[in-house]
Amino acid sequence: MTETREYSVDGMSCAHCESAVTEEVSALPEVEGIDVDVAAGSLRVSGPAERLDDDAVVAAVDEAGYTAVRAA
């Protein structure tokens, strides 16, 4: 079953930020869909519920140069 998770991302301010986060997170093999909203500072990731790994998503955002936490 596919699940969508939302994360708050700090530090994004432009289209380059969106591109960097999209590139890093979409490279994760379990990610099937991604939506980055720079204005809202949010990231939505979808994929198989049993395979989505919050730590991997947060690490990918960190690799892009930003900070993320899973939204409650």
Q: What is the pLDDT of residue 30?
A: 96
Instruction: Give the containing element (helix H, strand E) for 5.
Output: strand 2-10
Q: In 1-72, which ranges are E strands?
A: 2-10, 33-37, 42-48, 67-70
Residue 34 tokens read as 């991604």
pTM of the predicted structure, to 2 decimals: 0.94
Q: Answer whether residue 58 shows pLDDT above 80.
A: yes
Domains and CATH numbers, the chain: 2-70 (3.30.70.100)
Cα-based distances in Å from 70 to 54, 57? 7, 9
Strand partners, 2: 48
pLDDT tens for residues 9-31?
A: 999 999 999 999 999 999 999 99
